[in-house]
Amino acid sequence: MKGRLVSANPAEGERFYLRLLSSHITGPTCFEDLYSFNGLPHPTFRKASLERGLIENNDNLSQCLGEASLFQFPAALRRLFATMLIYCEQEDVRKLWDDHYDSLSEDYTRQCESVNRVRNLVLTDILVFLQSMGKSLDDFDLPMVDANSNFQSGEFREVEEECSIVVEDEHLRPRDSLNFDQKYAYDEIMRHVDEDCPGVFFIDGPGGTEKNFLYKALLANIRSRGLIALATTSLGVATNNMPGGRTAHSRFKIPLNLDNNSMCNIRKQSGAAKLIRDA
């Protein structure tokens, strides 16, 4: 009689490692056969899987973050860090955090002098990614967000975060570098901003036509006036091309699994609602 192994998620801990061992060890007759390797018993299924080379240890994860920091922006590193927490079994999460905190916080450190505020911003970004996958900071050995120091000016964190985005000088003086079509779109959209007139625009063009250059010019102009512009994309990788970019699911709290009763999880009095009203 044949049986079937049910699937297991890495976040399920020992249940996942039991399934992993069962899939790779032939002819086990008892649990001791799964716990043992080279004649030595191990206390957990995870340890046995590690000794057999079926999983990687934390050194590999730390090395992965280190290599990613060489070519990825801090926002992408924070997303990678959160993904590791969800899908990789961590023995020492706090050490991983401490070892790579400088890389995770590099952008905020340049924008803000407050050490506590920088840490809060980094933790909040990680929290957003964790919540989108059904987890929280409380599930891991990480520092907690300090609410007392996070709102020094009495403003919502989301609004403060958007207002603290650094506008690059190269994006403030782009108009003379725009081609005819780009300049037409730039002037038309800015006219609606100047006149406070609602409008919806669709910009299309093949790859290599510098659409991102136009977007950055618009964002820089609007933000340099002290106004808020929300840069959102459908794909996480595309957010790296936009200053202050976020995915639409993260920014507007769009549920990942939709049904007829799905709603964006934004409370009327929340910081996200205030940010959208101010944008």
Each domain of the chain, given as residue ranges in start order, spans 10-51, 58-152, 169-278
The answer on pLDDT for 147 being more than 70 is: no
DSSP secondary structure letter of residue 55: S
Q: pLDDT higher for 58 or 216?
A: 216
Neighbours of 142 (CB within 10 A): 19
The answer on pLDDT for 188 being more than 90 is: yes
Q: Could you give the percent of the chain with pLDDT greater than 70?
A: 87
CB 57 within 8 A of CB 92: no
| pLDDT value of position 200 | 92
Of 86-100, 122-136, 185-199, give the range with the top mean pLDDT: 185-199
**How far, in Å, are 21, 25, 190 from residue 36 at the CA level?**
11, 11, 68
Three-state secondary-structure class, residue 194: helix
Average pLDDT over residues 187-213: 88
The answer on pLDDT for 73 being more than 80 is: yes
| pLDDT value of position 202 | 92
**Positive or negative CA dihedral for 112, 249, 130, 271?**
positive
Helices and strands of the chain, counted as H and E runs: 15, 4
| pLDDT value of position 264 | 83
Average pLDDT over residues 248-257: 82
**How far, in Å, are 75, 124, 137, 138, 268 from residue 128 at the CA level?**
12, 6, 10, 13, 18
| pLDDT value of position 100 | 92
pTM of this prediction?
A: 0.46
Average pLDDT value over all residues in the chain = 80
CATH architecture observed for domain 169-278: 3-Layer(aba) Sandwich (3.40)
Q: What is the pLDDT of residues 114-137, one digit of tens each?
A: 788 888 889 888 887 887 777 788
